[in-house]
Amino acid sequence: MNTESTSPVFTVETTVGAMVAARPALSRLFEKLGIDFCCGGKKPLAELAAARGLDPATVLALIDAALAVTPGTDDVNPATLSLRELADHIERTHHEYVKAELPRLLEMAERVARKHGWRDARLAEVAETVGLLTREMFSHMTKEERVLFPLVRQIEAGAADNFHCGSIANPIRQMEDEHESAGRAVARLRELTDGFRPDGDACNTHRALLGGLEEFEADLHRHVHKENNVLFPRALELADRN
């Protein structure tokens, strides 16, 4: 286990969301192991490791080793930000990334399906799934930017938890459901593309598409984690106190 007083003490019963909230750099390790730290963030390490056929004690040792090398470095530690700062960060980084990247990936997916669908019948479903994901994510981000995030900022400014939508828990619950839907779509894309691995006959556009989808998956995991495991719980806790 971690021994330094400044390091968090994790056990196999610690939720993976709490781990990544405390040390964002662990997201990279969980990505490699296939452990869901975003939508599955409320589950303990023991449960998620077992679901992947991994020994929880071994994963815990890997976590300690990762912390010894990279003690919490990441693009940002969301736990250090105010709610307003975290909402702003999510909009500036993850939302802007999605707005730029998903239309590009959709165009490539549709082009690859048209040109190479005869070779792999799954390409049509890949394009269809990317299209569905694009529509859902754009609608989702609009609701966050126009409804939920402004409410989060008002809560932090001292507003009572009594809005036109009722409690802030209501839009948060809807956003979490939509995160689950996006996660299922990305999981289906991984399945349809053999883990985003191109075969020997894949053209350069197809390879670029698969690389872009894999990067999108990683960003989505970090994006959802910052909301599900940091922003939303803190907003709900503050709303209860206002």
State yes or no: pLDDT of 5 exceeds 60.
no
Q: What is the pTM of this model?
A: 0.80
Min mean pLDDT across 66-80, 111-125, 137-151, 206-220 is at: 66-80
| pLDDT one-digit tens code per residue, 14-37 | 999 888 878 877 877 888 898 988
Confidence grade of residue 7 (pLDDT, cut at 50, 70, 90)? low
In angstroms, what CA-CA distances link 5 with 8, 45, 64, 125?
A: 8, 22, 14, 51
Task: Give the DSSP H or E segment for 202.
Answer: none
CA atoms within 13 A on the CB side of 176: 17
What pLDDT score does 208 carry? Answer: 87
Rg for the chain, CA atoms, rounded: 19
Residue 166 bridge partners (DSSP): 163
In degrees rounded to 5, what are phi and psi of residue 144? -65, -45
d(CA 159, CA 162): 8
State yes or no: pLDDT of 2 exceeds 60.
no
Averaged confidence pLDDT in the chain:
89
| pLDDT one-digit tens code per residue, 129-152 | 999 999 999 999 999 999 999 999
Share of the chain above pLDDT 70, in %: 94
